[in-house]
A and B are shown apart, each in its own frame.
Chain A
Amino acid sequence: MKLLVVDDSNIIRSRIARATLQANLTNLEIVGLARNGDEAVDICLRRKPDLVTMDLTMPGMNGIECIDALLRVAPDLRILVVSALSDKATAIEALKRGAHGYLHKPFTDARLAEALVELMDGLEERHVRYDRR
């Protein structure tokens, strides 16, 4: 499975990439690190990720707008929002727009790995469902 990391913070992009590698998540390959929504859409079209971690507070296109943009070009993407915004309304809005999970910052590496595994499990279940058709 291919993962795209979207966050305007360089240290968060690096942390997510490092934590993902250290968690030894089999079958998960990072195919892009995007600093903003435009880069995310571009990488999504070229590298066709299965999973995305998505920051919400970014300059230019914000994370909610970026979820819309990504799902327009790749409707089957599974998106984990990784954001400091801790109000319920924002989490609900992100989920309504098509995100599959919401992880609050600050997050531990272990919690990130758990959230990614949940996201990957969802994708595998969907593949199994499609295979059985």
Chain B
Amino acid sequence: MSDMTDVELKIFIEAVTHYFAQLTREPAAIRAAYLANGEIPHFDFTGLITVSGRYRGCVYFSTTGDALRALLAEFSEPDRREANLLDAVGEIANTIAGNARKHFGKELEISVPVTIHGVPDQIRSAVRARPFAILLTWAAHEAVVIVDLAVADA
């Protein structure tokens, strides 16, 4: 189970809402934030960040291809092929995890994003039981941020 506090969960909620507020004309709406039991929610495209250092675990952002195409349209990006959808989902995951360092500091060491299309075993093996899930809607598209962080053993 994640060792995170409510305050720390709020850091990630703020990071994801700030991302959409800053870069798009429509804010993201948080639908739910909860400890996920059983099936970990995800969509077709996922950007996975591995966390090391004082903390261990992972952060991922997952959404649909339609959401990513809409986001690239907001950026006036004409190339909306799969490679750029993967690039976008990885960049969002990187931005959310990187912004969280404002609270956690440099000791939240984050990897470059691993990007995944499909239903991956990689996600299941990266996330432990009961991570925090933040479900959101942006421009009628669904997305989720999964945060699984624990303080590393000394």
Contact = CB atoms under 8 A, between A and B. Distances in A.
18 contacts: A9-B90, A11-B84, A11-B88, A14-B77, A15-B77, A57-B94, A57-B110, A85-B98, A85-B101, A87-B102, A87-B104, A87-B108, A89-B105, A89-B106, A90-B106, A104-B99, A105-B95, A108-B23
B112 A57 contact: yes
A89 B105 CA distance: 8
A9 B101 CA distance: 20
Nearest to A22: B76
Given A87-B105, A106-B22, A11 B75 contact: yes
Interface of A: 8-12, 14-15, 18, 57-59, 83-87, 89-90, 104-108
B97 interface: yes
Contacts of B102: 86-87
A87 B112 contact: no
Contacts of B96: 84
Tell me the dominant secondary structure on chain B's binding face.
helix
Contacts of B22: 106-108
A12 B75 CA distance: 10
Contacts of A87: 101-102, 104-106, 108
Tell me the dominant secondary structure on chain A's binding face.
loop
Contacts of A15: 75, 77
A106 B77 CA distance: 16
Given A15-B75, A106-B23, 14 more contacts: A8-B112, A9-B87, A9-B94, A10-B83, A10-B84, A57-B112, A84-B96, A84-B97, A86-B98, A87-B108, A90-B101, A90-B106, A104-B99, A107-B22
A106 B84 contact: no
Contacts of B112: 8, 57-59
B91 interface: yes
